[in-house]
Amino acid sequence: MEQPPDSSLRNRIIPALVVVVIVALLSLFGLSLWSPGSTSSLGAGGRINEVGQLVRFDDGRTAPTFSLRTFDGQQISLDQFQGKTVVINFWGSWCPPCQEEAPILEEFSRNLDPDVVIIGIDVWDRQEDAAAFIKQHGLTFPNGIDEDGAITIDYGVSGIPETFVIAPDGRLLGKYSGPVESVEQLRGMIRDLMGAG
């Protein structure tokens, strides 16, 4: 606002404030613009995690239990794997990174340590598309569709692929959002999370 000519102090303070605010805002936009931005995008079926990101849960939370009907008709539940490290992978047939990831997971499952289990959970998908996906990639580890979405919600999944690691004592150690790049990377990640726990 205008000031009479005599209040030169205010004539300087207000412009100075304006300049400070504007510089702050522009740097904010700049920082946001150049900071590593989107790690996910919106795909046909839901959000797709494109860039890998490891999140560690330090609060010692317990992994929500669930039971799941696999595509080959078995009923499995998390409880039956107590004492083992459980790797849960959330995927969907419509999600391109999941397609890239599937062979890696299959390879991982064929060379498992005896105390490690991997389970695939298909989300936001159609039964027939998912079945075709499993056939296409020749997946042999247990995979099932989360029919009412309860498991997905219980694990707080908002984008796929996403891989969770559960300790033998049932603690949920952490999750990796985004496609797993290699068997070694997945093994290293599990070691990492177990070590921290």
Partner 1 sequence: MKRSILVSLLLVVGLLITPPLVAAEEALSPEALEIADALNCPVCEGLSVRDSNSQLSQDMRRQIQRMLDEGKTRQEVLDYFVDRYGVGVLREPPKEGFVLTLWWGPVIGLAVGVVVLATFLRQRRARGKRAVATGDVDEAAGADLQAYEQRLLREIDRMDAPTS
Partner 2 sequence: MAQLGSGALIVALALAVYGIVAGVVGARRRIPELVESSIRAVWGVTLLVLVAVAALLTAFLTHDYRLEYVFGRSSRDMPVYYVAAAFYGGQEGSLLYWAMIAGLLSSLALYLHRKRDRALIPYVAATVLSVETFLLLMLTIVASPFTLLPMTPPDGQGLNPLLRDPGMILHPPFLLGGFASFTVPFGFAMAALITGRLGDDWIRAIRRWALVAWGILGVGLLFGAWWAYHVLGWGGYWGWDPVENVALLPWLTATAFIHSIIVQERRGMLKVWNMALIVASFALSVFGTFTVRSGLIASVHSFAVSPIGPWFLGYLAVVVAVSVALLIYRLPGLQSDRAIESVVSRESGFLLNNLLFTAMAFATFWGTVFPLITELVRETKLTVGPPFYKQVNGPLLFAMMVLMGVGPLLAWRRSTPRLLLRNLLWPGVAGLVAGAGFLVLAGNPLAAASIAVTVFAVGTIVLEYWRGARVRRANTGEPYPLAVAMLVRKNGRRYGGYIVHLAVAIMAIGIIGSSFFQVERQFTLRPGESGTIGPYTLTYQRLDNRVTREGQQVAAVVDIAKNGEPRGTVETLRFFYRNYENQPTARMGIKTIGIDDVYLVLDQWDENGTVGLRAYINPMVSWIWVGGAVYVLGMITVLWPAPQPVRRGATRPVREAVLSEA
Q: Which of 9, 13, 17, 28 binds partner 2 (CB under 8 A)?
A: 28
Residue 31 binding: pick among partner 1, partner 2, none (C-beta 5-8 Å cut-off by kind): partner 2
38-77 residues in contact with partner 2 (CB under 8 A) are 38, 40-42, 44, 47, 50
Residue 15 has which token pair?
Answer: 């412009």
Tell how strand 172-177 and strand 143-145 pair up. Answer: unpaired
25 counts as binding partner 1 under rule CB under 8 A: no
Q: SS3 helix, strand, coil % of the chain, rounded to 5?
A: 40, 25, 35
Return left, alpha or beta for 149; rule: phi > 0 is left, psi -120 to 50 is alpha, else beta.
left
Residue 38 binding: pick among partner 1, partner 2, none (C-beta 5-8 Å cut-off by kind): partner 2
85-144 residues in contact with partner 1 (CB under 8 A) are 94, 123-124, 126
For helices 96-110 and 183-196, give the axis angle rounded to 10 degrees: 80
Q: Which stretch binds partner 1 (CB under 8 A): 81-89, 101-109, 155-163, 175-183?
A: 155-163
